[in-house]
Amino acid sequence: MRISKRSTLLLGVATAMLLATSGCSNGLLAGDDAGSDESGTVKLAMVVPISGPSAPTGEYMSNAAQLAVDEINDAGGVLDGRQLELLVEDEACDAQQGVASANKAVSAGAVVSVGGYCSGATLPQLPIFEEANVPMIIPAANSQDLVKAGKKNVFLVNGTGNQQSTAALKYMLKSGMTTVALVDDNDSYAVDITTETNRLIEEDGTVTVALATSVTPGESDYSAAVRDIMSANPELVYWTGYYQEGGLIINQLRNAGFEGKIMVADGSVDGSISEIAGANAEGVLATMTQTPDTLEGGDEWIANYEEAFDSTPGPFSLQSYDAVRLAAHAIDEAGSTDGDAIIAALEAVDGFQMFSGPLTFTADHTLSSGGFVILSVQDGTFALEDDLS
């Protein structure tokens, strides 16, 4: 499968860089032994996109994580008075950049990682944090490859690609759809969702995949893909890539006269998609977990965020906030910053209250319920369309 091939490549890059940095006594991984200090600040790594097209989402995530850190510190910190410190590093949605930033965070003494947005940049970080015995609480990246890696230190607090695909099919069946076009950008995250959606559709047998195609990210003209979609004439187009290309494809599809429904995956849930597609974005659907705008009774949290950062929270800010809270809880339960003790505490979590509901991890360290709902663009912003109940 395309996913496995890409994942193998990314993990190979990570392994090569890991060996390069650990092969001499002064390498990055030869620095602070994470979890060895018994005083000073407790450092959390957050590797998210700070540069590049996905930087706005990285800012939502790092701001929300910092808000949680500040609140925990104001309440007394962790381990009977130690303060948390957030180390924000750039992944730029790039595999090599993600590897370099993960190594930098480990060298700086991070004891838990609470980052991870682009799956293609998060996957190659797994061997680095595993080697350093640093637990990873991943708030956004959700490719099934992260689960298939089978790392004992990896925990996902966002729904998986399989859970997102299940929600997409549920909406198709509920809406009476019979044909769909699946379109991805060859990224691990996007291919994972299209592959899982295709598999689930074949197993169910009700919906027909009229077209499954991939595009090259970073281009401005997707007319070839648009022509293929128009020729296939599906009732629904499901775009599983990120919003930069998604906005262009939506705009070009509508301008070509496509009148069917368009749905995007969670990597495209950002206000920027309306800036790119303009009025053509209206009515676009999305498979997504909870966002601040859809959080019932979330006005106080949103107000706290806006007061702290003079900006509005966006996608994956809630998950990032909860990732920090969960990390602090596990550190306190472990009674130390030892990686194995924190991992054991995470595995023992039973009913920890998060925005998504009470948390108990499955055996493969994922959420028992992905919490995906259907949003739609209304007046330029995403709002709840269908809770799939």
3-state class of 382 per DSSP? strand
Position 15 pLDDT exceeds 80: no
DSSP-derived letter for residue 1 is: -
Could you tell me the pLDDT band of residue 188, with boundaries at 50, 70 and 90?
confident
22 or 285, higher pLDDT:
285
Position 31 pLDDT exceeds 60: no
Q: What does the radius of gyration of the chain's CA atoms come to, in whole angstroms?
A: 20
Torsions phi, psi for 180 (to 5 deg) = -145, 145
The predicted-structure confidence for 130-174, as pLDDT tens digits, reads as follows 999 999 999 999 998 999 999 999 999 999 999 999 999 999 999
Residue 87, pLDDT score:
98
The predicted-structure confidence for 232-267, as pLDDT tens digits, reads as follows 999 999 999 999 999 999 999 999 999 999 999 999
7 or 38, higher pLDDT:
38
List every span in the chain annotated with CATH 3.40.50.2300: 2-158+298-355, 162-288+372-386
The β-bridge partners of 183 are: 213, 239
Alpha helices, H only, 115-154? 119-122, 126-131, 144-148
Residue 34, pLDDT score:
41
Torsions phi, psi for 381 (to 5 deg) = -130, 155
Q: How far apart are CA 296 and CA 369, in angstroms?
A: 18
Judge whether 299 and 333 are in contact, CB under 8 Å: no
10 or 81, higher pLDDT:
81
Distance of CA 283 to the CA centre of its chain: 23
Could you tell me the pLDDT band of residue 6, with boundaries at 50, 70 and 90?
very low
Torsions phi, psi for 72 (to 5 deg) = -65, -45
Could you tell me the pLDDT band of residue 5, with boundaries at 50, 70 and 90?
very low
Position 288 pLDDT exceeds 50: yes
CATH node for 162-288+372-386: 3.40.50.2300
Identity of the residue numbered 88 = V
Q: Of 5-14, 237-246, 312-321, where does mean pLDDT reach its minimum?
A: 5-14
**Please, what is the average pLDDT of the chain?**
90
Could you tell me the pLDDT band of residue 293, with boundaries at 50, 70 and 90?
confident
The predicted-structure confidence for 86-125, as pLDDT tens digits, reads as follows 999 999 999 999 999 999 999 999 999 999 999 999 999 9
Residue 2, pLDDT score:
32
Q: How far apart are CA 28 and CA 307, in angstroms?
A: 37
Other C-beta atoms within 10 Å of 33: how many?
Answer: 12
164 or 290, higher pLDDT:
164
Domain spanning 2-158+298-355, CATH architecture: 3-Layer(aba) Sandwich (3.40)
Q: What is the pTM of this model?
A: 0.85
Position 9 pLDDT exceeds 90: no
The tokens of 96 are what?
């090599």
Q: Among candidates 235, 375, 176, 232, which has minimal Cα distance to 295? A: 375
